[in-house]
Amino acid sequence: MSEPRLSPSRVLRPREDARSSYNRLARWYDLLAGASEARLCAAGLEALAVREGESALEIGFGTGHALLDLARAAGTEGRVFGIDISDRMVARARARVADAGLAGCVELVQGDAVSLPWPDARFDAAFMAFTLELFDTPDIPVVLAECRRVLKPGGRLGVVAMARRRPGSLMVRLYEWAHRRFPAAVDCRPIPIRALVERSGFVVGRVEESSTWGLPVDIVVGIKMV
């Protein structure tokens, strides 16, 4: 079934509110979201298939679990970078990376993905899991354009996201209602991820459909051809 080309609902929370919210959640985030997201993040990393010696970027790395997998895949000749809006998430992720003995090959910054602090064509691969759907609708193409900018020709973008498909299930309709009604608590929403990646100039090379808690999730890998 083709993916809907409908604009996702808006996310009107200011950036500073988002940063403050994830700072508060940092201590408990693994308990709240870790179990439900870990399986899908692992599938996304497998689809992205970072190789020995590659440079990789993770956007919205949270407490840092995927950073460890990326660093191990890139190996001693590779390098992993990450950016997250929450300074407390950055601190927790740095501690996790250090505890794993990988601090020498992982570099983390606190910042906003609408303006990535790296030069053009820096990375072989970029990864986002349950991050893109947190951005307001006008910002999603900006984030994807920044990902495309920092990827080398032939570089891969892997995205794991709540998916907006047609027709929407009852669970999706209930979730989107909760997002509209309680935007501070339900801060993300399903997005038509394949269509968004394609519109941003990537060639979609792989799509896997899955779900969590009755909500559809897509794993999409896009390739920067030029």
CATH label of the domain that carries residue 143: 3.40.50.150
> What does the pLDDT read at residue 10?
79
152 lies in a domain?
yes
Question: Is 2 contained in some domain?
Answer: no
User: Is a pLDDT exceeding 80 seen at residue 35?
Assistant: no
Tell me, yes or no, whether 213 lies in a domain. Answer: yes
Are β-strands 123-129 and 106-110 bridged in parallel, bridged antiparallel, or unpaired?
Answer: unpaired
Percent of the chain with pLDDT over 70: 88
The reply to whether the predicted model has a pTM over 0.85 is: yes
Tokens 């910054």 belong to 109
Structure tokens belonging to residue 35: 């179990």
Residue 5 banded pLDDT, cuts 50, 70, 90 = very low
- Whether 7 is in a domain gets the answer no
Which pairing describes strands 151-162 and 215-223: parallel, antiparallel, or unpaired?
antiparallel
What is the C-alpha separation between 214 and 142, in angstroms, rounded? 29
Domain count, the chain: 1
